[in-house]
Chain A
Amino acid sequence: MNPSNYRPRGMTLKRSLLSRYMLIVLSAIMILPISLPVVSVVAFLQGGGKVADTEDSKLYRDGNRLESMWHMEAAKLGNRSPQQIDAALERKKTEYPKAELFWVDGSGHTRLQLPETGQLPDQWSASYTVQYMKQGVSADDFTIVAFIGGSQSEGFMVFKIPRVLMQSGAAEASKSIGPIFVIVVLIVLAIFLFISLLFFYGIRKRLVRLQAAMAIPAGNGIPAPVATNQPDEIGQLELAFNEMVGKLEASREREANEDGLRRDLIARLSHDLRTPLTAIRAHAFGLKQERLTEEGRQSLQLIDRKIEYVSQLIENLLSFTLLESGKYPYRSERIDIVRLARASIAGWYPAFEQQGYEIDINLPEAQIYWFVDPEWMERVLDNYFQNVLRHAKSGGYVALRISGEHGGRLTIADRGPGMAETSDERGAGIGLAIASLMLEEMGLFSEIVSGSEGTFIHIGTKS
């Protein structure tokens, strides 16, 4: 597929992973500024409930109002008798029950105290007055000092309330709202992290699933298609993967078809070649019945040998094609290789004998078991023996040995000119190629050592 014209099918921006993650990030960013006022409102509503419960905060909250109220009261009381001042203070006390009220006359005597605290001196000295004023300003109490009648000679009166009373419900609530904000922000962050984690976990799970699907091939060596249900980027990846699997399968099938055609063609060719060969042999055989010169007879023998050779080549070509495509039937079983080798050389013995070979057989008495296909093994030995018969005649020697070491080692040796030398019948290499291909397929080790003194073929089990 050309990536430049690859267009995601069925994927809208809305459903893409990118936009989904952007949505998560955006909502996290939005929820913070929204959540803060919401928390404030909630907290205020709860604080407002407190204000409604008590009138205290309304009464004492406004320091300025209290101050002007107290100074006005003090101004009104100018030139009044101490009894009148006491009555006025008692009136104020009923109005502001939580306030502490007292007055000191012009001579510095503490007069009415509401309530009686016992902390005040009877006689106010100048230094004490200054100290009291300092305390009153810095302490937790809100203190208003007003000169009665506006002049210092008539004394002063004091209005004192704890500062706590002056705080509004909202302000009270805002005191505890700080930690709530921190908690809310943390919760929002935690939720954001958790959702992100879920999001990426979901992606990871799907990717791992896809990876597993790619790694585990189905029976034919090609991974099985995966199920797709989400039309996002990973869904597209899965679709592309499935498409690739489909193409692989199709190409595998095409390849198998072509292979089948090729095998068929070779099988047919083999038949078509063998039939005329048989006819040639028939005519040559017919000629033999005629009167012939010695030369003619030799020609006929040569024709016969060449027919045999060509037919062998055809057989090898067909076998090689089958082997290469893995279509050569293979049925492995536990067989005694000594017995198989003995039966094989028994079949070849007369041929070697006829050609005047010295035949050197050294097989052990004990059985040695290999796990191979007996027909394949026979074929391998046949090919090697045939090779010796064809190409090592000058050595006049063939040996078959099996030793029990390393799970069995089979050796075929000759004293021919070696494989580097070209023999008069070329092309026999395909027989050896078939033999080594078969040994390889059967999981056996094989080694050919060839020199001018002869050839050694070693076959054994891989350790």
Chain B
Amino acid sequence: MKQVLYIEDDKEIGAWVKEDLERRGYTVDWLLAGDTAMDRVIGADIVLLDVMLPGLDGFTIGQRLKKEAPQVPILMLSARTAVDDKLQGLRFADDYLTKPFHPDELAARLDVLLRRYGQPLELEIACGHLIIKPQQQAVYDGRTGGEISLTPKQLQILFYFLDNPNRILTKEQIYEAVWGDPYMDGDKTVMVHIRYLREKIEDDPSNPLIIETIRGIGYRVKR
């Protein structure tokens, strides 16, 4: 069970978020003020922080928490959407959500952050007819059970898609995430690699089901 450290001064919203997250299977440690947050951050998996707090403000607490426990991701909650708040917040916060947020979106953001922060990966990911085992860096055909051998770059591309499910990724994003270099004008590398990847994992590479082409924008893998 994931431990969420939740700092929120509004009792009504606090009670609701705590209840909702607990229903979703999280353990919630809810503080009304940030003064004691420093002792509680050890042992938490993620921090949910409201910006408008009495006493120390959310930004100050966030910066201290980040110094104390850099491995714990912070999700900022704010009623203020002033842009300078947003910029200041993102310097230490890993993500940002403005009120009034939808509980489903909050849960989704928490999930993404936890996954990004090196929490134990899922053992098995099902995607179309593929079974992917992240710890073994292996991909299987779910129908035959046979392993599909991919090159390291192809694996990296596939895992990048799986880390960003349902998002449309542009060729620039893919190139920069997988190769780690700035994208150069007119580079066809991503296109070529995805074509080879499709030949290995799709039943019909000319009519792909797993890696979808969004014409003019990029690619998407739905989960």
Q: Which of B52, B83, B166, B169 has the most CB of A within 10 A?
A: B83
Considering only residues 60-113 of chain A, those with a C-beta below 8 Å from chain B are none
- If A346-B167, A361-B215 touch, does A329 touch B16 (CB 8 Å cutoff)? no
Could you tell me the distance between the alpha carbons of A266 and B185 in the complex, rounded to whole angstroms?
44
Distance of B176 from chain A, by nearest CB (Å): 10
Question: Interface with B: A38-46, A169-177, A241-249, A280-288, which one?
Answer: A280-288
Distance of A428 from chain B, by nearest CB (Å): 17
Q: A307: CB under 8 A from chain B?
A: yes
Question: Interface with B: A9-17, A117-125, A268-276, which one?
Answer: A268-276
Is the CB–CB distance between B102 and A304 below 8 Å? Answer: yes
Q: Which of B16, B79, B87, B173 has the most CB of A within 10 A?
A: B79
Q: Which of A272, A278, A322, A349 contacts B83 (CB 8 A)?
A: A322
- If A286-B16, A345-B217 touch, does A281 touch B83 (CB 8 Å cutoff)? no
Q: B101: CB under 8 A from chain A?
A: yes
Q: A27: CB under 8 A from chain B?
A: no
- If A280-B100, A281-B102, A361-B217 touch, does A315 touch B172 (CB 8 Å cutoff)? no
Is the CB–CB distance between B167 and A277 below 8 Å? Answer: no
B interface residues, tally (CB under 8 Å): 35
Is the CB–CB distance between A349 and B217 below 8 Å? Answer: yes
Q: Which of A270, A278, A307, A346 contacts B218 (CB 8 A)?
A: A346
CB neighbours of B39 from chain A (8 A): none
Question: Interface with B: A185-193, A363-371, A454-462, which one?
Answer: A363-371
Could you tell me the distance between the alpha carbons of A339 and B185 in the complex, rounded to whole angstroms?
10
CB neighbours of A286 from chain B (8 A): 16
Considering only residues 45-63 of chain B, those with a C-beta below 8 Å from chain A are 52
Q: A448: CB under 8 A from chain B?
A: no
Is the CB–CB distance between A281 and B186 below 8 Å? Answer: no
Q: A375: CB under 8 A from chain B?
A: yes
Q: A279: CB under 8 A from chain B?
A: yes
- If A342-B217, A346-B217, A363-B216 touch, does A319 touch B100 (CB 8 Å cutoff)? no
- If A318-B81, A328-B83, A375-B83 touch, does A275 touch B217 (CB 8 Å cutoff)? no
Q: Which of B81, B82, B99 contacts A275 (CB 8 A)?
A: B99
Q: C-beta contact mask, A339-381 vs B, less than 8 Å → 1, else 0?
A: 1001101110110000000000111011100000001000000
Distance of A274 from chain B, by nearest CB (Å): 4
CB neighbours of A308 from chain B (8 A): 100
CB neighbours of A281 from chain B (8 A): 100-102
Distance of A149 from chain B, by nearest CB (Å): 135
Q: A311: CB under 8 A from chain B?
A: yes
Is the CB–CB distance between A342 and B79 below 8 Å? Answer: no
CB neighbours of B215 from chain A (8 A): 361
Considering only residues 153-186 of chain B, those with a C-beta below 8 Å from chain A are 166-170, 172-173, 183, 185-186
User: Which residue from chain A places its CB closest to the CB of B23 in the assembled complex?
Assistant: A289
Could you tell me the distance between the alpha carbons of A343 and B176 in the complex, rounded to whole angstroms?
13
Q: B124: CB under 8 A from chain A?
A: no
Is the CB–CB distance between B168 and A346 below 8 Å? Answer: yes
Considering only residues 68-96 of chain B, those with a C-beta below 8 Å from chain A are 79-84, 87
A interface residues, tally (CB under 8 Å): 42
Could you tell me the distance between the alpha carbons of A94 and B215 in the complex, rounded to whole angstroms?
142
Q: B22: CB under 8 A from chain A?
A: no
Distance of B35 from chain A, by nearest CB (Å): 21
Is the CB–CB distance between A279 and B83 below 8 Å? Answer: no
CB neighbours of A274 from chain B (8 A): 79, 98-100
Could you tell me the distance between the alpha carbons of A365 and B171 in the complex, rounded to whole angstroms?
11
CB neighbours of A346 from chain B (8 A): 167-170, 214, 217-218
Is the CB–CB distance between B186 and A365 below 8 Å? Answer: yes
Could you tell me the distance between the alpha carbons of A367 and B101 in the complex, rounded to whole angstroms?
36
- If A270-B79, A282-B12, A346-B218 touch, does A311 touch B99 (CB 8 Å cutoff)? yes
Could you tell me the distance between the alpha carbons of A283 and B20 in the complex, rounded to whole angstroms?
11
Q: B10: CB under 8 A from chain A?
A: yes
Distance of A400 from chain B, by nearest CB (Å): 8
- If A279-B16, A304-B102, A365-B186 touch, does A270 touch B81 (CB 8 Å cutoff)? yes
Could you tell me the distance between the alpha carbons of A430 and B100 in the complex, rounded to whole angstroms?
20
Q: Which of B13, B81, B103, B172 has the most CB of A within 10 A?
A: B81
Could you tell me the distance between the alpha carbons of A280 and B169 in the complex, rounded to whole angstroms?
35
Considering only residues 287-338 of chain A, those with a C-beta below 8 Å from chain B are 304, 307-308, 311, 314-315, 318-319, 322, 328-329
The list of the 8 closest CB pairs from A to B, nearest first, reads A361-B216, A282-B16, A274-B79, A346-B168, A278-B100, A277-B100, A271-B79, A278-B99
12 A-B residue pairs with Cβ-Cβ distance under 8 Å, sorted by A, are: A271-B52, A271-B80, A275-B10, A275-B13, A279-B16, A286-B16, A319-B81, A322-B82, A322-B83, A342-B218, A346-B214, A361-B214
Q: Which residues of A contact B (CB under 8 A)?
A: 267, 270-272, 274-275, 277-283, 285-286, 304, 307-308, 311, 314-315, 318-319, 322, 328-329, 339, 342-343, 345-347, 349-350, 361-363, 365-367, 375, 400
